Amino acid sequence: MFDKILVANRGEIAVRIMRTCQEMGIATVAVYSEADKKALHVLTADEAVYLGDAEPAGSYLNMDKIIRAALDSNAGAIHPGYGFLAENAAFAEKCEQAGLIFIGPPAKVIRELGDKTMARRIMVKGGVPVIPGMTRAEADPAAMAEEAEKIGYPVLIKASSGGGGKGMRVVNGPEEMEPGCIAASSEAAAAFGNGAVYLEKYLERPRHIEFQILADAHGHVIHLLERECSIQRRHQKIIEETPSPVMTPELREEMGKAAVAAASASGYVNAGTVEFLLDREKNFYFLEVNTRLQVEHPITEMITGIDLVRRQIEIAAGGVLDLSQQDISGRGHAIECRIYAEDPENNFFPSPGRIAFLKEPAGPGIRNDCGVYEGAQVPVEYDPILSKLVCFAENRDAAIQRMVRALAGYVISGVKTSVPFLMDLFQSKAFMSGETFTDFIEEYFADWHPADPPADLAGIAFIVDEMYSKTRVKKTMHPTGNTASPWETLGNWRG
């Protein structure tokens, strides 16, 4: 087993990985940029190494700096988390060349599955159903239009590399093909350094369902049930749950076998996720394999009781997976929502700034993987995710009600967040009935706005300011002897 692991990431995922390392008695090394000198992951680690500029290219994407940090700190392995270098085959190779263990699949697997067209060819060979579409990248819009005629409109232009909704455009007819190709290719090149794109048949109102897999280097492969990830904005997930409201035991078995077949066909090792689209007739099609730990992995941990980060580390250290498919069962229902510093009223535009006040939700069945603290700065340079709020209960209805309560108690001031939007979404009839599809937000929340504030808000603000000013002058004391905060002196209030 490793004595020390460097976590090549930041924010909530870096903190989450470090906590499992600490439980395993493994020392941790953080890396950080200029913007993250006082970040929570830096404070959580046993030691930290400064990388440089706030721009990712000079810090979290700089392979040589990260590998040098691992060698200089005597770390035996690097955990990439998700994002940044997590699915970079060249980085995995550099780790191996430097004598470091990359906690993830082999570089060859990352490279082949990271190329979406090659991944499709692997799945076809492995007998996994795929969405009708191209098995090669194409740069010529005219050639793409010819393929679209064969496939049938609407079609989806997709980036051959990367994910997270980048480089994707829906095309409804030939006249949209050229501008769609140019836009998708340009966005893919900016996001992944590779502008290659291809076509797939666009499925209308599908569900996005994925299966967590674990595979060791000794030929053992299992799945850890499904996650429903259909609630998305700009093709990026914001809510996940398990089990899926639409799942039946028969469909779960069939999709689970396909997920294991996909992992086996690609020679997969470590934790990963096989993603599918499920149409309205309950036909499922391979979408992609994410060769890393997923943002939504906590809900799988909640229903199975399995620590996925611990399993990743054990597999990377050469351990044998001591679980069989028969050992895996789920209990209860878990839901996760991603808390972003963003403005839902303004197309979810990022909202960087300083967190002036933070009150995290608590109580039975609540887990909050948080990467910030009160007073922390949310930088503009990175993904604005603040935390992942997870609620677990005996059934879906109870889990939803627990999530609503948890969100109501989640107070973050200083930056705009998605909390009010999420509260309305969870309480909508469509979500509560399980009618979740990938166009859910466009269908039901395209024009969402928060409830109107009280008409006399300005007057309330004046009174609050007056009260706070007086408490500062009088040095109002708490019964314990500490100065009372304005939140205690204001009485009942709503964030």
User: From CA 388, how far away is CA 336, in angstroms rounded?
Assistant: 7
Give the max Cα distance, the chain.
77
For the record, the structure tokens of 456 come out as 């006399």
Is 292 annotated as catalytic? Answer: yes
Give strand pairing partners of 33. Answer: 52
Catalytic residue among 10, 120, 227, 292: 292
CA-closest candidate to residue 372, choices 30, 11, 8: 11
Report the length, in residues, of the chain.
495
- Chain-centroid distance of CA 95 in Å reads 24
Range 92-112 burial, b when 16+ CB lie within 10 A, else e: bbbbeeeebbbbbbbbebbbb
Distances from the Cα of 298 to the Cα of 12, 104, 240, angstroms: 12, 18, 10
Burial category of 24 from C-beta neighbours within 10 Å (exposed 0-12, middle 13-18, buried 19 and up): middle
Angle at CA 260, nearest 5°, toward 256 and 265?
145
Distances from the Cα of 338 to the Cα of 123, 139, 296, 421, angstroms: 30, 35, 9, 11
SS3 content of the chain, % helix, strand, coil (to 5): 35, 25, 40
User: From CA 378, how far away is CA 386, in angstroms rounded?
Assistant: 8
Secondary structure of residue 491 in the 3-state scheme:
coil
Ramachandran angles phi, psi of 429, nearest 5°: -65, -35
Active-site residues, by number, are 292
